[in-house]
Amino acid sequence: MIKSLSYVGISSPTVEPWHQFATEILGLQDVSDPTEDAVRLRMDDAVWRIAVHAGETNALEYIGWDVGDQLGFDAVGSVLGDNGVDLHLAESTLAAERSVSTLGWFRDPAGFRHEISFARPTADTPFESAQGVKFVTGDNGLGHLVLMVPDMQAVSDFFLNVLGFRHSDDVEAGAHIRFMHCNPRHHTLAFTQVPGHRGMHHMMLEVDSVDTVGLAYDRALAAKKPMAMTLGRHPNDRMTSFYVRSPSGFEIEFGSGGRLMDMQAAEPAGHYSQASIWGHLPPEEPLRPGMLERISPA
């Protein structure tokens, strides 16, 4: 049903700094329309993958999923319906804004908005990174998101039992994080529980080599961008990465060498008591969670 993470949209009062942060530090391509109050970013052949819309607060506005084709679209609608969740069909103007012809949306138990579409077109021109960065996307999607949710069990059950995601593993090292995949990428979604709140902890962008990671690390340090975690390596997805704070309060994990899962094997989910094999040290004054929205009690 759900094939991969297609695109992500956030809102932010600080849109302007994204032009420089995205292109000069991360090596994304800025394809913003100057008549629109948003930053749109490319990382591969897709017309755009990340949109930052002007808004009053920093918030994760929508998570776009590729469902493959009309059959996949209908299958998601059907399982959602069986579980009492409405799949809304978006108007054609909104579908066009997301660069797709058919767009559906629903909310997960934490209240995050998810959108489904298929056959999103590729751009007319090749992807160009001013920093020479090559991102690892394709069938495994944009990257991964780690989300903070009020009730991890409810959200896990929804993605694993309703939407067909598979449990990769859990890390319990201070916080408890649950990782899940929908294609060979070790995880496309992970969740950690923050009672009464929801938000995005980080978005991971994967690149082709550890040197590409190191060069971006150097650019972020030289530009004195707030580093949320130094260079390090995770034991579960084996990603070598660093975490830099984005202008909108959440972190960007920039990494390479992520593990691929065998989609045929029914391996039991692993359990790790360490978040990192080495590195990933926080700054002396740890950054406060920057994209955390208080949800009024249900």
Q: How many CA atoms lie within 13 A of 78 on its CB side?
A: 9
Q: Cα(113)–Cα(108) distance, rounded to whole angstroms?
A: 7
Amino acid making up residue 36: E
251 in contact with Fe ion (CB under 5 A):
no
Size of the residue set binding Fe ion (CB under 5 A): 2
204 in contact with Fe ion (CB under 5 A):
yes
Six-digit token string for 83: 């579980």
Candidates 73-81, 102-110, 129-137, 245-253; binding stretch for Fe ion (CB under 5 A):
245-253
169 in contact with Fe ion (CB under 5 A):
no
Q: For Fe ion, which is the closer residue by CB, 3 or 186?
A: 186
**Shortest spacing between CB 100 and Fe ion, in angstroms:** 27
The only residue of 169, 206, 251, 253 in contact with Fe ion, by rule CB under 5 A: 253
Q: For Fe ion, which is the closer residue by CB, 99 or 276?
A: 276
Q: For Fe ion, which is the closer residue by CB, 65 or 243?
A: 243
Q: For Fe ion, which is the closer residue by CB, 247 or 258?
A: 258
Residue 132 and residue 24 in contact, taking contact as beta carbons nearer than 8 Å: no
Closest to 26 (Cα-Cα) out of 279, 287, 243: 243
Q: For Fe ion, which is the closer residue by CB, 103 or 204?
A: 204
Residue 163 and residue 79 in contact, taking contact as beta carbons nearer than 8 Å: yes
Phi-psi region of 30 (alpha: psi -120 to 50; beta: other; left: phi over 0): beta
Residue 205 and residue 249 in contact, taking contact as beta carbons nearer than 8 Å: no
Candidates 7-15, 59-67, 123-131, 203-211; binding stretch for Fe ion (CB under 5 A):
203-211
Residue 193 and residue 152 in contact, taking contact as beta carbons nearer than 8 Å: yes
Candidates 80-88, 131-139, 172-180, 196-204; binding stretch for Fe ion (CB under 5 A):
196-204
**Shortest spacing between CB 241 and Fe ion, in angstroms:** 7
Q: For Fe ion, which is the closer residue by CB, 5 or 204?
A: 204
**Shortest spacing between CB 200 and Fe ion, in angstroms:** 11
Phi, psi of 42 (to 5 degrees): -105, 150
Is 186 in a helix, a strand, or coil? coil
- Residues near Fe ion (CB under 5 A) are 204, 253
